[in-house]
Amino acid sequence: MKNKFTIPKSHPRYPSLIIREGLTEGFKKGIVAAEGLIAQGRGEAFDYILGEKTLPPARKAIKAAAALLLLAKNPVISVNGNAAALIPKEIIKLAKITGSKIEVNLFYRTEKREKKIKDLLMACGVAHVFGVGKDASATIPELLSERRKVDPRGIFKADVVLVFLEDGDRTEALIKMGKKVIAVDLNPFSRTAQKANITIVDNIVRAMPELIKTSQEFKSRGEQKIKSILKNYDNKKILKEMVKIIRKNYVYEK
């Protein structure tokens, strides 16, 4: 991400300020929804509490996520405005390694923003972006938001879906359809975090490079070895570990 305002690298909040830059630039370009800036604020608060680093439970979730994506028959990465602005190249890298499709799926859906996100992803090197405009002709049952509209060749027939900054409704609806959901969400208490099969409680900006590295590493392992990672994975336990860290970080001692 560019540092247009020359924020000094020594600034204690440098990485966080650079993320803000990426999002506000994305907003000005029509990629990020205004509400996406507010969502980032909520994320920042959790990130601050987590110490702005990838914690051990998140690393375990990343390993399980890499395993699940590599074992999937039809994995799809679902992209919203914030993810497109912050991690477009990483989305494409991960899609290449894991054989995932990329689908645009917006909560605040407008065709104009969908197309801008598609163009951005294509400029970063992806051959096809699913779910744009009329391509999102299938419907996720029992979901009322605009996120219900999905591509019949993409999310609709996926067995594994990776989601970022999500609303709990769609995660629940996708799971009801028999899909496995991997969520990246800084808030371990959110419905998405609680409902997903694998929850990576981390900033998407840190989690994605780690997920790419792990997926690349696991790719050369045999299927049985990858399966054993998933066999021992317990998402409820991971979330509990995360909450324990939060409580420990914030015991106020005089």
Query: Where along the sequence are the contacts to ligand PTJ (CB under 6 A)?
Result: 33, 35-36, 39-40, 42-43, 46, 80-82, 106-108, 165-167, 184-187, 190, 203-204
The distance of closest approach from Cβ of residue 82 to ligand PTJ in the complex, given in angstroms and rounded to an integer, is 5
| Closer CB to ligand PTJ, 78 or 215, in the complex | 78
The distance of closest approach from Cβ of residue 99 to ligand PTJ in the complex, given in angstroms and rounded to an integer, is 24
Q: Are strands 138-139 and 149-150 parallel, antiparallel or unpaired?
A: antiparallel
| Closer CB to ligand PTJ, 167 or 221, in the complex | 167
Question: Residue 55, CB half-sphere, CA atoms under 13 Å: how many?
Answer: 25
**Count of Cβ atoms closer than 10 Å to residue 128 Cβ:** 14
The distance of closest approach from Cβ of residue 159 to ligand PTJ in the complex, given in angstroms and rounded to an integer, is 22
The distance of closest approach from Cβ of residue 234 to ligand PTJ in the complex, given in angstroms and rounded to an integer, is 22
| Closer CB to ligand PTJ, 184 or 226, in the complex | 184
How far apart CA 77 and CA 88 sit, in angstroms, is 11
Yes or no: say if 62 and 76 are a contact pair by the CB < 8 Å rule: no
The distance of closest approach from Cβ of residue 75 to ligand PTJ in the complex, given in angstroms and rounded to an integer, is 20
How far apart CA 123 and CA 40 sit, in angstroms, is 25
The distance of closest approach from Cβ of residue 150 to ligand PTJ in the complex, given in angstroms and rounded to an integer, is 13
How far apart CA 122 and CA 40 sit, in angstroms, is 25
| Closer CB to ligand PTJ, 54 or 80, in the complex | 80
Q: Which residue has the tokens 């989690």?
A: 207
Amino acid at 203: N
Write the CB contacts of 132 (distance below 8 Å, at least 6 apart in sequence).
104, 111, 114, 115, 118
| Closer CB to ligand PTJ, 203 or 226, in the complex | 203
| Closer CB to ligand PTJ, 105 or 214, in the complex | 105
How far apart CA 131 and CA 109 sit, in angstroms, is 11
The distance of closest approach from Cβ of residue 215 to ligand PTJ in the complex, given in angstroms and rounded to an integer, is 18
CA 215: distance to chain centroid? Answer: 15
Going from the C-alpha of 115 to that of each of 56, 86, 91, the distances in angstroms are: 37, 17, 17
CA 137: distance to chain centroid? Answer: 23
| Closer CB to ligand PTJ, 151 or 185, in the complex | 185
